[in-house]
Structure 1
Amino acid sequence: MKNNRKLMGMLILSFVSFAGLAQLSTPPGGGSQKSYVKQHIGGVGSVAISYSSPGARGRTIYGNVVPYGFNNLGFGLSTAENPSPWRAGADQNTTFTFSHDVKIEGKELPAGKYGFFVAPAAEGAWTVIFSKDNNHWGSFYYKAENDALRVEVTPEDVGFHEWLTYEFIDRQNTSTTVALIWGDKKLPVKIELADPVGAHIAQLTAELNNQQGFNYQNFTAAAGYASSVGEHEKAIEWADAAINAPFFGQKNWATMSTKGAVLAAAGKSEESAQVMDEAIRLPGATAGAIHQYGRQLIAAGQKDKALEIFKYNHKTNNGAWPTNYGLARGYSAVGNYKQALKYMKLAKENIPAGDTLNGPIIDQNIAKLEKGEDIN
Structure 2
Amino acid sequence: MKKAFTTALLLASFTAAQAQLTTTASGTSVRARVSERVGLTDISIEYGRPAVKGREGKIWGDLVHTGFQDQGFGNGNPAPWRAGANENTIIEFGTDVTIEGRPLAAGKYGFFVAYGPDACTLIFSKATSSWGSYFYEPGEDVLRVQVKPVKLNELRERLTYQFGDETDSSATISLEWEKLAIPFKVSTALQQLQIASFERELRGEKGFDPHALQQMADYLQEHDIRLNDALTYIERAEQSIPTFGVLSSKADILRKLKKDAQADSVMKVAMERGTAQDVHSYARRLMATGKKQQAYEAFQQNYKRHPDAYLTCVGMARGCSAIGKTKDALKYANLALPKAPDAANKKIIEDIIAKLKEGKQI
Q: Secondary structure at the match of 2:242?
A: coil
TM-score by length of 2: 0.77
Report the residue type matching 2:278 in the other structure. A
Counterpart contact for 1:178–1:189, Cα < 8 Å:
yes
Alignment of structure 1 residues 353-372 onto 2, 5 Å: 353-354=342-343, 355=345, 356-365=347-356, 368=359
The 2-side partners of 1:162 and 1:312 are apart by 67
Report the residue type matching 2:301 in the other structure. Y
Report deviation, 1:318.
3.7
TM-score by length of 1: 0.75
Residue of structure 1 aligned with 2:224, choices 216, 226, 230: 230
Residue of structure 2 aligned with 1:89, choices 75, 84, 87: 84
Alignment of structure 1 residues 74-153 onto 2, 5 Å: 74-79=72-77, 83-121=78-116, 123-147=117-141, 148-153=143-148
The 2-side partners of 1:157 and 1:303 are apart by 52
Report deviation, 1:130.
1.6
* Residue of structure 1 equivalent to 2:335: 346
The 2-side partners of 1:331 and 1:238 are apart by 37
Report the residue type matching 1:260 in the other structure. A
* Residue of structure 1 equivalent to 2:8: none
Assess, with a 3 A threshold, how the Cα gap between structure 1 residues 155 and 347 changes in structure 2: closer, same or farther: closer
Unaligned runs of 5+ in 1: 1-23
The 1-side partners of 2:179 and 2:318 are apart by 62
Report deviation, 1:50.
1.2
The 2-side partners of 1:223 and 1:335 are apart by 36
Report the residue type matching 1:39 in the other structure. E
Report the residue type matching 1:294 in the other structure. A
Report deviation, 1:212.
5.0
Counterpart contact for 1:166–1:181, Cα < 8 Å:
yes
Assess, with a 3 A threshold, how the Cα gap between structure 1 residues 100 and 159 changes in structure 2: closer, same or farther: same
Note if 1:34 corresponds to 2:31.
Answer: yes
1:334-353: CA deviation from partner (whole Å, max 9, x where unpaired): 66666556545434454444
**How many corresponding residue pairs?**
336
Note if 1:206 corresponds to 2:204.
Answer: no
The 2-side partners of 1:277 and 1:90 are apart by 67
* Residue of structure 1 equivalent to 2:161: 166
Note if 1:69 corresponds to 2:67.
Answer: yes
302-311 vs 66-75, greater mean Cα deviation = 302-311
The 2-side partners of 1:336 and 1:155 are apart by 58
Report the residue type matching 1:53 in the other structure. R
Report deviation, 1:94.
0.9
Residue of structure 2 aligned with 1:240, choices 229, 232, 235: 235
Assess, with a 3 A threshold, how the Cα gap between structure 1 residues 169 and 328 changes in structure 2: closer, same or farther: closer
346-355 vs 44-53, greater mean Cα deviation = 346-355
* Residue of structure 1 equivalent to 2:248: 257
* Residue of structure 2 equivalent to 1:270: 261
* Residue of structure 1 equivalent to 2:50: 54
Unaligned runs of 5+ in 2: 1-18
Query: What fraction of aligned residue pairs are identical, expressed as a percent?
Result: 34
* Residue of structure 2 equivalent to 1:286: 275
Report the residue type matching 1:315 in the other structure. K
Report deviation, 1:313.
1.9
The 2-side partners of 1:212 and 1:26 are apart by 51
Report deviation, 1:160.
4.1
337-346 vs 310-319, greater mean Cα deviation = 337-346
